Amino acid sequence: MLYWDYAAASPPYEEVVQTMEQIMRLIYANPSSLHRAGTEAARLLTRSREVCAAALGVTPQEILFTSGATESNNLAVKGAALQYQGRGRHIVTTQIEHPSVYESCLQLQALGWEVTFVAPDSNGVADPAGIAAAVRRDTVLVSVMHVNNETGAVQPLAEIGRLVKAANHRTLFHVDGVQGFGKLATELKEWQADLYSLSAHKLRGPRGVGILYVREGVALFPLLTGGSQELGYRAGTENTAAIVASAKAVRMSAENRVTYSKQVTPLRNRLLDFVSGIPEFTVNSTYSGAPHIVHFSYPAVNGEVMARKLEELGMTVSTRSACSSRLAEPSRILLAMGRDSSAALGGVRISLGDTHTAADIAALEQALLAAVQALKLVERGRNK
């Protein structure tokens, strides 16, 4: 099997696996304990915070560890809304956000907050002027992702941040950076980001660890209480081994970013060229998107059917975000981009990693052709 679902979960670096195993065996004390073993665990957490901060160009005191990007996004959105509700109860986001942001906004909406969902263009890119125009005096937060998890569309964060702060300097700007870090430059200062979320297992790290950058001077209402861990913002005993391993993955991904892009982008371009030449497909990604995601629709069939056929042919792909892949309804992202319901139901996502080669792309191309032919035969049989 060839694995083409790096945007959902990536295989951990071997060094990350070794680090996590070593820490699990040797450093198992609670980092909050005052004895020597607990102090050693706490020291490793401090060092991990420093490593992640260096990779993001921020200070260690601005780094929080969570259970994943879903928690980081929930804490950023709901934590900011609850903390600053005295300023207002209005949030601006887009129609194409990850469910952990989108549904957090829906939850707040049900509790009385007003949310403006800005539509993207047909390429899945939100207009910075449109986002800024939605900002009001009572807007507490704007949340926009860096890279869309389905189509790979890249949002113009520097312009969005500049216009948002010009519209209301007190409005916080949150960026979901899960699909961008390690693939594209991360420039938190230039974006004027106040909050930024990451997930380790998208970066060839372990599952169960997320990172949330909280700019100095910004406060959040804690969603988990019962302890003073993570500066009081996130109670619960830290997973020392997974955090240390995640910090290593963050460092390696940051160091390898330029090499990664040079390796993966030509493969992505070749695959985009290929799927664009198949008349049955509607291509939903662009060459200006992230270097690791190619998304297309085969409107004739449900995307799950295409994914299963490709798996029979030795290719593991997905239909959309892993958090939504088991849903039967059309993709919310594709509908927002103006695709019809058949295209939104027929989406397939291929996401590349730094282990893929030109030979792998060639094998995938042959599998795509074979899948289309097989599905067309099935459809002809049904129509007889």
Give the strand pairing for 114-118 and 90-94.
Answer: parallel
52 is catalytic: no
Structure token digits, residue 172 = 């916080």
Q: How many CA atoms lie within 13 A of 202 on its CB side?
A: 26
Structure token digits, residue 341 = 């319901």
Whole-angstrom distance, CA of residue 194 vs CA of residue 272: 34
Structure token digits, residue 342 = 């058949």
Whole-angstrom distance, CA of residue 125 vs CA of residue 129: 12
Whole-angstrom distance, CA of residue 266 vs CA of residue 151: 17
Q: State the amino acid at position 6 in one-letter form.
A: Y
Whole-angstrom distance, CA of residue 318 vs CA of residue 370: 17
The catalytic position among 158, 224, 300, 323 is: 323
Nearest by Cα to 295 from 337, 355, 357, 326:
337
Catalytic residues: 323
